[in-house]
Amino acid sequence: MENIGKFLVAAGAAIALAGVLLWAGGRFFPMLGRLPGDIVISRKNLTVFFPVTTMIIISVVLTVLANLLSKWIK
């Protein structure tokens, strides 16, 4: 039971950190979500948004950071 508690605390901290990064990212990088390749479909009562290019860029940055962190920890 103690391991589950530690996991939940770590998961909560990770979610809070992700929220802060998204909030700060919107202020410092306002072009994210509006890049060429991000798909927006707007109809009368519906808007669908697919941030394809933004997600690719974020994925590459996170992959590089994870690789650097794993090499630094070893």
Same domain, 47 and 16: no
Same domain, 40 and 24: no
User: What is the percent of the chain with per-residue pLDDT over 90, rounded to a whole number?
Assistant: 54
Same domain, 46 and 72: yes
Same domain, 1 and 21: yes
pLDDT at 70 over 80: yes
pLDDT at 26 over 80: no
Q: What is the pLDDT of residue 72?
A: 86
Same domain, 39 and 74: yes
- Tokens, residue 30: 């306002």
Task: Domain of residue 64: give its range.
Answer: 35-74
Q: What is the pLDDT of residue 36?
A: 92
pLDDT at 74 over 90: no
Convert 8-72 into a string of H (helix), E (strand) and C (coil).
HHHHHHHHHHHHHHHHHHHHHCCCCCCCCCCEEEECCCCEEEECHHHHHHHHHHHHHHHHHHHHH
Per-residue pLDDT band for 43 (boundaries 50, 70, 90) equals: very high
Same domain, 40 and 64: yes
Same domain, 42 and 71: yes
How many domains would you assign to the chain?
2
